[in-house]
Amino acid sequence: MNKIYSKLHYQLEHGFEFGPACRLIQSLDQNSAGEVTVVFPGLLILLEEVGGRIIVKIPGGVRSTNNELPTDLSELCDQFIALVKAEAGSVPVDEILV
């Protein structure tokens, strides 16, 4: 999880843009339990390690087509999860809608 946090921190510092709307990470935090909170404009993503797996928690509405959320958020989540999987290596990564 520390490797993922470090990569995200690098992305934050260097203004890396996510998704088709080019959203920047607004804030990034890792608590003492190792859980990571990532805030984008209009989106909060949580990461935690449970039983040797990395769980990516995203709002369920992001994956729904019947809502008023910006359409780029689903693509942003796809790009974000791909980055997490690349940094996680052999550690399984699961997406959970919350």
Q: What is the pLDDT of residues 31-52, one digit of tens each?
A: 999 999 999 998 999 999 999 9
Structure confidence at residue 18 as a pLDDT band (50, 70, 90): very high
| Model confidence at 89: pLDDT above 80 | yes
Three-state SS at 63: helix
The better pLDDT of the pair 63, 44 is held by 44
| Model confidence at 96: pLDDT above 90 | yes
Q: Would you state the pLDDT for residue 66?
A: 72
The DSSP code for 65 is S
| C-alpha–C-alpha distance, residues 19 and 22, integer Å | 5
| Model confidence at 67: pLDDT above 80 | no
* Strand order through the sheet with 53-58: 27-30, 36-40, 43-50, 53-58, 93-97
What lies within 8 Å, CB to CB, of 36 at 6+ separation is 1, 4, 5, 8, 28, 29, 30, 46, 47, 48
Give me the chain's average pLDDT, please. 93
